[in-house]
Structure 1
């Protein structure tokens, strides 16, 4: 890592007064927005229902070119960005905190932090679009394959079982280890030249590892209901503990067992 980042500054009080409250306010605003959205007349958009059937979204679908595709995707992207901000930013506090300290003396410190966050959110945004496309394929299959529609619960059970099995995978633990050591991660990936570009790239790289260890748990939102704030809070707490708390890695196996057991119960209750 280039020395231009400077040594760790003694300004911990500045960081506590400014950085932590700003990031906490951003996360809190995301949760508040989700709460308000879920209780509004447009809350059904969080549930991935038929956005083109009625209401303002249906009107936009008619007047916007290719609106039947563009409008639901835009609504979904807005909901996904809020969900990601609320659920995943708390898990990255150590990374932002370390990067904030390392770049605090740079005149473009604020811009670098924003680029780091933008890179991180870009990866989760791409994952959200892929998940949205997969969800569309599933809905199409349910609408056109009667046998699958009659046994739609199998999709939920399979998603829960997949999330449980992934808790025991080596990929999960390799990615989780990268997320748990932010200082080592920054030293390994941060470069002194073209700091703006490398700050964005650092966010991208960390986002890839974050998706690598959390993607299966995030897919649970499709099985549990994307508009359920209770499940969002629970999953966000689990992922934050796994990544940030010293004993958090011990939670992975019991959580995997619980999810696999839940899937078995679902299958047994429908069999």
Structure 2
């Protein structure tokens, strides 16, 4: 049975011609919204600063019960999901393409693709919330420890060192291998029963491996600035190459050495 079984060849070809432009349009839209957001008066909401001090966020915090906690988390979640869509969706093109070809003959094909994406984004959203809690904890620690705040570069150097060391870990390569063979992953985990639930679960399952592969690189955004489109584009390109390009797996070790060297440089310039 061919991947596009159930559809006439002309219709299947037309479908494939629509799929890639739609996904590309979604990615382009995410980057465009991020670009507009960073240049708007609300751009500071991407930087994890004191969002509740002034402006619309402060008004919402006063109007919403427990707004001082809820509003920053909602704003952060919106920014993180948007950033994840812009950075990570291009790296998952092989996954969506494999699932697209496998389910193209189903009448609910479009809904299954959407659920696959929702499952994937849900996992990254959960990781983003955990990262937000961790970042908030670090900021609280800096607020009560003037010595650590004065030597904040230590946190940046530690983040670079952690990301660099993780590039050589067994977990990194195990997860990266799953990300680099999406067709095998889909065939292995897609059962076709309870389609909606399984499509969401498939996206979430693949998202776990994606987080396992890229979490340390994504944490670099907190050291480099979560509102920096330049660093977002660079990291997105690195992760896309690692996952999708035939020689991408060979990039992991050089990148690890570069990050460890960056960490050493930060330490050397501050000691």
TM-score range, shorter chain: over 0.9
2:226 paired residue number: 226
Determine if contact 2:4/2:101 at 8 Å carries over to the other structure. no
- Give the CA deviation at 1:180: 0.5
Determine if contact 1:8/1:101 at 8 Å carries over to the other structure. no
Determine if contact 2:112/2:196 at 8 Å carries over to the other structure. yes
Secondary structure class of the residue paired with 1:233: helix
Residue by residue over 1:87-113, the C-alpha shift from the partner in whole angstroms, topping out at 9 and shown as x without a partner, is 000000000001001101100000100
Residue by residue over 1:138-185, the C-alpha shift from the partner in whole angstroms, topping out at 9 and shown as x without a partner, is 000000011111111101110011000000001000000000001100
Secondary structure class of the residue paired with 1:178: helix
Q: Distance in 2 between matches of 1:256 and 1:15?
A: 40
- Give the CA deviation at 1:6: 6.6
What is the total number of aligned residue pairs between the two structures? 269
Q: Distance in 2 between matches of 1:222 and 1:189?
A: 34
Determine if contact 1:8/1:102 at 8 Å carries over to the other structure. no
Residue by residue over 1:3-29, the C-alpha shift from the partner in whole angstroms, topping out at 9 and shown as x without a partner, is 8x8749645632342111111000000
2:242 paired residue number: 242
* Superposition RMSD in Å: 1.5
TM alignment of 1:133-144, pairs within 5 A: 133-144=133-144
Cα distance change, pair 264–8 in 1 and its aligned pair in 2 (3 A) = farther
Q: Distance in 2 between matches of 1:222 and 1:119?
A: 24
Q: Distance in 2 between matches of 1:8 and 1:185?
A: 22
Q: Distance in 2 between matches of 1:12 and 1:231?
A: 38
Determine if contact 1:164/1:257 at 8 Å carries over to the other structure. yes
Q: Distance in 2 between matches of 1:8 and 1:139?
A: 55
Secondary structure class of the residue paired with 2:104: coil
Runs of 5+ unmatched residues, structure 2: none
2:102 paired residue number: 102
Alignment partner of 1:45 is 2:45: yes
Structure 1 segments of 4 or more deviating over 3 A?
Answer: 5-12
Alignment partner of 1:62 is 2:62: yes
Determine if contact 2:4/2:12 at 8 Å carries over to the other structure. no
Secondary structure class of the residue paired with 2:24: helix
